[in-house]
Structure formats: structure tokens, C-alpha cells
């Protein structure tokens, strides 16, 4: 068995709302560019893991055409039908088992141009009772959660708008983000179209066309790829119950459990102190304070103070989504993997304008399902 | 040092059938899970994690494990979803293996299912091809390359399979009567398996030959049904299996692997080199898996095979590609009765995929049936009479390109 696994390479596309190329070409060019950067060929990869979904691809067994495009022709490969961070988790397991030394993980979708995310998301709902009524959906769940948080902790619409502005500013400095809004301001956010209040259009993540590729390696092989490995020191993933009425949308117990498991594995006792930054998969900016608190990064209910003191800004005590997060680009299936790539960039001091100074430990989160039913957490270190 | 992993239980939700209008997807999965747990002394909370999968475009529910999480016990547990087309079930099982082999979990459940009555399987399979067809409508018919698949796909996957069947028959110097014969053997094997869908006791070559041709040389009797059903496997680490005191009736995972070649059909149109009956990747993966399992001569050391054959000619083709039979010798083996349950190389004692096909479950059923043969627990007269030291389970999917191979055995590979 391998003891330690590293991220030794990562690359993402410039995410857009109108990709000029098809998904097959997008991932082919991405993987090819990553191999060229590292000076490797596909023969240096032991196992290939895709993260995609037949619904988002609009095609049965869509990997029939995407598997060869990531270099897995005549190779060992499989597919996780969930977010890319789950695929990275599977790659991590495969390397830990000792049967593989290196793995390529690729997640992608064309959420910007080929389909409307709310439609595809609605297909995950109970088709008998919930889907046809349209009352429960990803947006209304976010609104229920946001309202509960705002009411309990006196978090205002202005506070929420300020969080959105923080993320949009970060996204403006992120060369890969799809969404670029000139001079984002609280007024502009509060003036955007109300959807399910307090959720407005501005708070919704930017469903985009894009892909992300990450290479994992055992300790033994890491040197071959890079002298700046980023180590995966803790992982955790848990699924919540399906029915929204049965969940505690504020406590997010299963996200909390996933984070605790990852921290324990990484030997982290005080996440607030020991973690330098977090990349969190939020479909709506209202999820940010709830998730960050469930992950033990801030005290429960401290959202208002965090916003006021700028604690989650890039220059704050614990930057959350210095990349701008999914508010800047949310190519479903790649989004969680992009969080891992962004955290790796931070730990390798390659995050450009969004660089968090002296970042050594990061926590990465991905969600899947309605109201973040499935949560995956990674702790990564320089 | 590798961690040894065993399959400790195999659960079904009952016999596979055409239609289950009385239940929904979560209700289809739950009995299989309960059945697998009931065969052990485990409590549901002792399952550390779940790996699940089906082909969700058939039923029109995206990632149905989310909706079903409370029914299979996934709520409050780690859950991972894997889907790889026809090989889904085996890919799910292999992911469950890595959950344990990684050392992160000790007891893991793998679940595969399909509820084909919720949609039309041929329409679902046409979903592979339709995007090409749509571009044809937009830009005019261009039947070269992968777009030609749309033309081939006239009968769902049968169109492409007919090419493979013709190529195989030519290579093996066999005729359509051999396909009739193996199809009859599978349907009569299925009659001995209480969980199989199409059970035809004493089915003969003549019975199959009466069925109409769909796409020459494939008849209706050579094709698989669309079934509703679910299967659940419980995997455990060696330490846990010892702790449960069940090491004498488990199936050890000795070797496993998966792989992909290119989508084959496009290349037929272009007249290129890829022959859908060659299945080179199957040979590559099988070789790797046998080496991992410490098997030097698969012909001698493997006592039973469960192969994934959506069409009956594949029941002749796969044993050759898996190295269990010399190339082109399957028809001869069939004629001398070697593939029968009491034969030299029992092939699909369960009746195989041509008798039962709930697609997301099928590749896992191969693993589960191989496990039952190793454990000696196959019910209803389909247990192989001789001692099964090693069994091989195979999965096939995609556009003739995905393959999974797993070797299970009575004793773990020495570390």
C-alpha cells in the first residue's frame, strides 16, 4: 500500500459561456497541454478517471467518446458519475491500494452553453412527488437555507450582497473565471433579478463550459512530475438524507462529519487556526457562511462579523474562495475538482493576483445533489 | 503489501422480471440490500460505505442514488456513484474493492440496479447515437467516422453487434447454428437459476432457430431481455472477515482490472483496422488480471466463467478473448459439451446476460454469480459440481470498447 499521495499537476480551461469547441476537443486539448507542461506522455499515467454525467452530456454512456480524448485509449480507466472531487477521491483510493502509482482525473461539462443547469438538476429530484410540482428545487432549497440563516443570525441581505461582491472581485482577478462583472457593488447585486428571495440572480453560481484535469501520484513517483507536490493528508465524504424536510439545513451535519473526518486524518485539531484558506463548492453565495461554519472554519452564526471584518477576503484571516469560487465559474462535474486545482495553485504560490500569502494548508470542498446532499472534503498541504 | 479483500455476501431483490409497475427505483434497490445483509450477521450500521451505480438515462432520473439514499442505507454514510455503461456493475464493484484496499474502509457495499420498465432500453441506447444523428440533420448526411454509428444503430445495439457476430463467425469458421446452440444452453441454464429472468427449461437449438432474424446473423432468440432487478455485494477486509469468522465461505478478490479501446463501430464504416470481434483490450486486461491473481494457465486454473454477453455469439467469443479457450475453438468446445454446468469449463451457469439483463446490475451479477460459485452457494441446481478454486467474471460495455475482468478464488493471493 502507498502511504502518501500527492497532487503533482493540475490545469483548468478558461471557462466560458459559449465554448467554441465541443467537449471532446476541450478535454483533449486540456490534457494534452497538461502533459506538455509536465513533459510527460499518457504512458506515465497508470489509471484514468473521468467525472461526467450522461444527463449533463445529453448522451447515454457519453464516455464512449470522452474516454479516448483524455488519453485513456487502450488504458485502464473508469468513470465517476458525480463531481470531479469524488473522482479525485477514487483516484486517491486507487493509489493508496498500491495497485497504481499515478492517476489522471478529468471533470468537465458544457453547463454554460448546452443545457440549463436547473433543468438537469431537477432530474435528480423524486420524479413522483417533487419534480412535477416544482416547489422543491435547488434554488428554493438555497432560499430556505439562506432565510433560516439570516433569521437566526441577523444576517442581512446587504451582508449576503457583500459576500457576493467579494467573490465577484476575486473572480475578476482569476484568469480562468467565466463571469466578469465590472465594478461589482452591493447596489448592483441587490438590484439583480429576484429568483427565490433572498436568492437573486447575482448570488447564483456561473454555470459555465469548462474542464479541469488533476494528476495524482504516489510519494515514490511524485518527483518524476514536480518538485512542488501538494499532499492529500485527509479526506472525508458523507451523504445526507434525501428529503429536505428531514434535514437540518443550518447544521449541515454530514458536511460537518466529512470535514471532521478529513481533519482527524490530517491531524488537524483546530481548523480555524491551522487552515490557511478554503475552496468551497457553493452553488449560491448564501451557502458560503453555512458551509464554512459547518466545516469548523468560523463560529456558528458568525457570518455577519466575518463579512464586516473581511475575514474571508484574500487578505483576511481565513480566505474563503480566493479564486472567486463557483460564482466565477461552475462547470458542473468539474467544479469540485477546480477547487482542488485552485487550492494546489495557492499552496504552490502560483495563484497570481489571488495569491494568499504563505498558504501552507488548505481545505477543499465539493457538493453534489439537492441542497448539497453529498459532501466531499479534502485537506491538502504544501 | 496489498490488503486482501473478500466478497462476503451476495444479495438479490428476487427474480429479475420484465416489469415492476408496483414499485419505484428506491423500492427496487432496498430488498437487494436487505437480502445481502440478512445473509451475514452484520447490522446495517456496520456497513462503512456504499458504492452504487446504474445507467440513469434509461429511467430518466439523474443520479437516482440521491433520491434512493434513505432506502439503501446511504443517508449518513459515505456514498460514491460510478457509471460506465454496460460495465457499470463491475466498475461499481471494483470501486468498492478500492474503498477497502485503500485502507480507508473495512466493510463496503456495492449496489447495481436497473428498472428497465421505466423507459425503453433501445431508446436509451439510441441516446449514444442521437447526437450524431442530430448533427446529420443539421449538416446533411455524413456517414463517415463516428457519424456512421447512427446508421448502424438502426436496431439499438443489435446493429453493431451483427457486425461483430459476422466477424466472429468468419474467424471461428462457425455458423448461425452455433449461436442457436449456445443461446439454448444459456436459456436452459437460466431455468436452474431461481433469479434468472428468461427461464426456458430444456430449451433446444431448434426452439431458438424458430425465432425471427433481427439483423443477420442475430435472431430474436440471441438477444438479451430488458429486466428489472438489483444486486448488492458486501466486501470486507481480511481482518474483518476473520473477525466475523467467515473466512471459509467467502470469495477472495484475487485480481481485477478494467480498460477501454476506441468506439469500434465508426472504424468499421471507415474500413479501418478495428475489428469489433478482436477485442484486443479484453486480452490485455485479462492477462494483467491473471498475473495479479497468480494464475499462470487460465485454461487449467479457472473452473468457471461468467461473461457479459448481450448477444449470444459473444458467449462464444469472450471465453477465447479471456484466454480460457484457444482462438476459434469455442464452437468446438460447445459441441463437445464443455460449456455445460457439469462440463470442462462451465460457462454462465446463471444463464448469463442473454437470459437476464438489468444493465446497471448485469456486470455485477457476473461478479456476484462467480462469488456464489466460489462459495458453493449457487441456488436451484446451477452450482457447478466440481470444486471451484478460481472463477472469472467479465464485463463489457460502451460502444464495444469497455471491458472489466475480475478473478475470485477460494484462497487469497499470498502477500
Local structure of residue B274 (DSSP, 8 states): -
Closest alpha carbon within chain A to B402? A64
Residue A288 is assigned to a structural domain of this protein? no
User: H or E stretch including A139?
Assistant: helix A138-153
Q: How far apart are CA A7 and CA A34, in angstroms?
A: 13
Question: Which domains, and CATH codes, for chain B?
Answer: 5-119+226-248 (3.40.47.10)
Q: What angle do CA B57, B369, B66 make, to 5 degrees?
A: 30
A331 within some domain: no
Nearest to A124 among B24, B63, B128 (CB): B63
Q: What is the pLDDT of residue B155?
A: 43
Phi, psi for residue B87 in degrees, rounded to 5? -80, 0
Cell readout for B188 is 436452459
**C-beta separation of B312 from B183 below 8 A:** yes
Chain B residues closer than 8 Å to A51 by CB:
none
In a domain, A70, yes or no: yes
Asked if A115 reaches chain B (Cβ–Cβ under 8 Å), the answer is no
Q: Distance (Å, rounded) from C-alpha B402 to C-alpha B262?
A: 9
Q: Which of B316, B360, B356 is nearest to B338 (CA)?
A: B316
Question: CA A345, CA B36: separation in Å to the nearest integer?
Answer: 45
Give the minimum alpha-carbon distance from B69 to chain A in angstroms, rounded to a whole number: 6
> Residue holding cell 457495499?
B109
Q: Evaluate whether residue A139 is within a structural domain.
A: no
Is residue A345 in a domain? no
Which set of grid coordinates corresponds to residue B82?
460510478
Q: What is the CATH number of the domain that holds A50?
A: 3.40.47.10
How far apart CA B297 and CA B308 sit, in angstroms, is 22
Cα three-residue angle A317-A229-A85, rounded to 5 degrees: 70
Question: How much is the pLDDT for B130?
Answer: 65
Sheet holding A374-381, edge to edge: A77-80, A47-51, A102-110, A209-218, A5-12, A230-239, A374-381, A361-368, A277-279
**Per-residue model confidence (pLDDT) at position A287:** 97
Residues A271, A256: Cα–Cα separation, whole Å: 12
Under 8 Å CB-to-CB from A79, ≥6 apart: which residues?
Answer: A49, A50, A51, A52, A63, A67, A87, B82, B83, B84, B91
Q: Which residues of A touch B94 (CB under 8 A)?
A: 78
C-beta of residue B397 within 8 angstroms of C-beta of residue B260: no
Residue A10 near chain B (CB below 8 Å) = no
A294-316 pLDDT, tens digit each: 999 999 999 999 999 999 999 99
A4: closest chain B residue by CA: B102
Start-to-end CA distance of chain B, whole Å, equals 6
Q: Which pLDDT score is estimated for B138?
A: 53
Model pTM above 0.90 = yes
Between A293 and B271, residue with greater pLDDT: A293
A100 Cβ contact partners less than 8 Å away, ≥ 6 residues apart: A46, A47, A76, A94, A218
Contact (CB, 8 A) for B381 and B192? yes
Model pLDDT, residue B409: 97
Contact indicator for A281, A83 with CB cutoff of 8 Å: yes
- Do A254 and A241 contact (CB within 8 A), yes or no? no
pLDDT for the residue numbered B154: 45
Assign A283 a pLDDT band (cuts: 50, 70, 90). Answer: very high
CB-CB under 8 Å, A76 with B257: yes
Please list every residue in chain B whose beta carbon sits closer than 8 Å to the beta carbon of residue A127. 60-61, 67
Is the separation of the CB atoms in B55 and A61 below 8 Å?
yes
The per-residue pLDDT for A39 is 96
Q: What is the pLDDT of residue B119?
A: 84
Evaluate whether residue A35 is within a structural domain.
Answer: yes
**Given this model, what pLDDT does residue B83 score?**
96
Mutation to test the B interface, candidates A5, A24, A64, A95, most B Cβ within 10 Å = A64
A182 burial level (CB within 10 Å; 0-12, 13-18, 19+):
exposed
- Cα separation, B380 vs B191, whole angstroms: 9
How far from each other are the two terminal CA atoms of chain A, in whole angstroms? Answer: 22
* CA geometry: angle B393, B399, B403, nearest 5 deg: 25
Which residues of chain A from 14 to 53 reach within 8 Å of chain B, CB to CB?
53
Residue A57 belongs to a domain: yes
Taking an 8 Å cut-off on Cβ atoms, the answer to whether A54 and B56 are in contact is: yes
CA distance A137 to chain B (A): 13
| pLDDT mean across residues, chain A | 96
Contact yes or no for B63 and A86 at CB 8 A: no
Q: What is the dihedral of CA A250, A124, A109, A368, to 10 degrees?
A: 30
Taking the C-alpha atoms of residue B58 and residue B226, their distance in angstroms, rounded to an integer, is: 11
Handedness of CA A224, A227, A228, A230 (dihedral sign): positive
Distances (CA, A) of B161 to A64, A122, A334, B312: 16, 35, 34, 10
Domain hosting residue A77, numbered range:
5-116+207-225
pLDDT 10s per residue in chain B (415 long)? Answer: 579 999 999 999 999 999 999 999 999 999 999 999 999 999 999 999 999 999 998 899 999 999 999 999 999 999 999 999 999 999 999 999 999 999 999 999 999 999 999 988 777 777 776 665 555 555 555 555 544 544 545 445 777 788 889 999 999 999 999 999 999 999 999 999 999 999 999 999 999 999 999 888 999 999 999 999 999 999 999 999 999 888 888 999 999 999 998 765 544 444 445 678 888 899 999 999 999 999 999 999 999 999 999 999 999 999 999 999 999 999 999 999 999 999 999 999 999 999 999 999 999 999 999 999 999 999 999 999 999 999 999 999 888 889 999 999 999 987 6
Alpha carbons B339 and B185: distance in angstroms, whole number: 8
Q: In this predicted structure, what is the pLDDT of residue B335? A: 96
Instruction: Work out the average pLDDT over A182-206.
Output: 96
Summarised one tens digit per residue, pLDDT across range A67-79 is 989 999 889 999 9
pLDDT digits (tens, 9 = 90+) for A162-175: 999 999 999 999 99
Question: In this predicted structure, what is the pLDDT of residue B215?
Answer: 84
Q: Which among A78, A125, A237 has the least Cβ separation from residue B258?
A: A78
| ipTM exceeds 0.95, yes or no | yes
**Cβ pair A73:B261 closer than 8 A:** yes
Q: Domain count for chain A, please give it.
A: 1
Q: Considering the domain boundaries, does residue A334 fall inside one?
A: no
Amino acid at each position: 500500500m502507498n502511504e502518501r499521495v500527492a497532487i503533482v499537476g493540475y490545469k483548468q480551461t478558461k471557462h466560458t459561456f459559449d465554448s467554441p469547441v465541443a467537449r471532446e476537443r476541450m478535454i483533449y486539448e486540456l490534457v494534452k497541454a497538461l502533459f506538455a507542461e509536465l513533459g510527460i506522455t499518457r504512458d506515465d499515467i497508470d489509471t484514468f478517471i473521468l467525472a461526467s454525467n450522461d444527463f449533463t452530456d445529453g448522451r447515454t454512456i457519453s464516455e464512449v467518446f470522452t474516454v479516448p480524448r483524455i488519453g485513456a485509449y487502450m488504458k485502464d480507466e473508469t468513470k465517476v458519475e458525480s463531481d470531479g472531487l469524488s473522482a479525485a477521491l477514487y483516484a486517491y483510493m486507487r493509489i493508496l491500494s498500491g495497485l497504481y502509482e499515478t492517476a489522471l482525473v478529468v471533470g468537465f461539462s458544457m453547463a454554460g452553453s448546452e443545457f440549463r443547469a436547473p433543468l438537469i438538476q431537477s432530474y435528480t429530484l423524486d420524479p413522483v412527488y417533487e419534480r412535477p410540482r416544482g416547489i422543491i428545487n435547488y434554488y428554493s432549497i438555497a432560499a430556505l437555507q439562506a432565510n433560516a440563516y439570516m433569521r437566526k443570525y441577523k444576517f442581512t441581505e446587504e451582508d449576503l450582497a457583500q459576500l457576493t461582491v467579494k467573490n465577484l472581485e476575486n473572480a475578476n482577478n482569476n484568469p480562468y473565471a467565466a463571469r466578469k462583472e465590472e465594478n461589482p457593488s452591493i447596489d448592483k447585486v441587490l438590484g439583480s433579478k429576484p429568483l427565490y428571495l433572498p436568492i437573486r440572480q447575482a448570488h447564483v453560481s456561473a454555470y459555465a463550459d469548462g474542464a479541469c484535469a488533476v494528476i495524482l501520484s504516489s510519494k515514490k513517483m511524485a518527483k518524476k512530475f514536480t518538485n512542488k507536490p501538494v499532499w492529500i493528508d485527509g479526506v472525508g465524504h458523507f451523504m445526507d438524507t434525501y428529503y429536505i424536510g428531514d434535514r437540518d439545513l443550518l447544521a449541515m451535519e454530514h458536511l460537518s462529519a466529512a470535514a471532521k473526518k478529513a481533519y482527524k486524518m490530517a491531524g488537524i485539531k483546530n481548523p480555524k487556526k491551522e487552515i490557511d484558506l478554503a475552496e468551497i463548492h457553493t452553488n449560491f453565495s448564501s451557502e458560503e457562511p453555512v458551509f464554512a461554519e459547518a466545516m469548523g472554519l468560523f463560529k456558528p452564526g458568525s457570518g455577519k462579523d466575518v463579512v464586516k471584518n473581511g475575514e474571508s477576503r484574500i487578505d483576511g484571516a481565513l480566505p474563503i474562495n480566493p479564486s472567486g469560487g463557483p460564482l466565477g465559474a461552475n462547470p458542473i462535474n468539474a467544479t469540485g475538482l477546480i477547487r482542488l486545482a485552485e487550492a494546489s495553485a495557492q499552496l504552490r504560490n502560483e495563484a497570481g493576483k489571488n495569491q494568499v500569502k504563505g498558504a501552507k494548508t488548505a481545505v477543499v470542498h465539493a457538493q453534489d445533489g439537492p441542497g448539497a446532499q453529498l459532501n466531499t472534503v479534502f485537506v491538502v498541504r504544501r | 503489501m496489498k490488503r486482501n479483500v473478500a466478497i462476503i455476501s451476495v444479495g438479490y431483490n428476487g427474480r429479475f422480471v420484465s416489469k415492476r409497475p408496483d414499485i419505484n427505483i428506491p423500492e427496487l434497490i432496498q430488498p437487494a440490500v436487505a437480502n445481502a445483509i440478512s445473509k451475514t450477521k452484520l447490522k446495517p450500521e456496520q456497513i462503512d460505505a456504499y458504492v452504487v451505480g446504474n445507467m440513469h438515462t434509461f429511467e430518466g432520473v439523474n443520479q437516482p442514488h440521491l433520491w434512493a439514499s434513505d432506502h439503501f442505507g446511504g443517508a449518513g454514510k459515505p456514498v460514491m456513484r460510478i457509471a460506465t455503461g454496460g460495465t457499470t456493475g463491475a466498475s461499481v464493484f471494483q470501486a468498492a474493492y478500492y474503498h477497502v484496499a485503500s485502507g480507508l474502509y473495512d466493510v463496503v457495499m456495492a449496489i447495481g440496479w436497473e428498472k428497465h420498465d421505466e423507459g425503453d432500453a433501445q431508446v436509451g441506447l439510441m441516446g449514444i447515437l442521437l447526437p450524431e444523428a442530430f448533427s446529420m440533420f443539421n449538416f446533411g448526411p455524413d456517414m463517415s467516422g463516428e457519424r456512421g454509428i447512427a446508421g448502424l444503430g438502426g436496431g439499438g445495439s443489435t446493429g453493431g453487434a451483427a457486425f461483430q457476430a459476422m466477424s466472429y463467425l468468419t474467424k471461428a469458421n462457425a455458423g448461425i447454428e452455433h449461436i442457436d446452440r449456445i443461446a439454448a444452453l444459456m436459456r436452459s441454464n437460466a431455468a436452474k437459476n431461481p433469479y434468472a429472468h428468461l427461464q426456458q427449461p430444456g430449451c433446444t437449438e431448434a426452439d431458438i432457430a424458430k425465432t425471427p432474424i433481427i439483423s443477420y446473423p442475430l435472431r430474436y432468440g440471441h438477444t438479451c431481455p430488458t429486466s428489472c432487478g438489483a444486486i448488492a455485494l458486501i466486501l470486507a477486509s481480511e481482518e474483518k472477515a476473520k473477525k466475523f469468522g467467515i473466512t471459509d465461505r467467502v470469495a477472495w478478490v484475487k485480481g481485477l482490472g478494467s480498460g477501454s479501446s476506441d468506439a469500434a463501430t465508426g472504424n468499421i464504416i471507415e474500413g479501418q483496422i478495428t475489428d469489433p470481434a478482436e477485442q484486443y483490450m479484453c486480452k490485455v486486461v485479462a492477462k494483467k488480471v491473471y498475473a495479479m491473481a497468480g494464475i499462470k494457465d487460465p485454461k487449467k486454473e479457472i473452473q468457471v466463467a461468467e461473461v457479459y454477453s448481450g448477444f449470444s455469439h459473444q458467449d462464444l467469443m469472450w471465453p477465447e478473448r479471456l484466454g480460457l479457450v484457444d482462438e476459434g475453438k469455442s464452437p468446438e468446445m460447445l459441441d463437445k459439451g464443455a460449456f455445460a454446468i457439469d462440463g470442462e469449463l462451465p460457462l454462465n451457469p446463471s444463464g448469463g446476460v442473454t437470459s437476464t439483463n438489468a444493465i446497471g446490475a448485469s456486470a455485477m451479477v457476473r461478479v456476484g454469480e462467480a462469488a456464489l460459485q466460489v462459495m458453493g452457494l449457487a441456488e436451484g441446481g446451477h452450482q457447478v459440481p466440481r470444486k471451484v478454486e478460481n472463477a472469472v467474471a467479465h464485463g463489457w460495455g460502451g460502444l464495444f470498447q469497455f471491458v472489466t475482468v475480475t478473478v475470485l478464488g477460494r484462497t487469497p493471493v499470498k502477500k
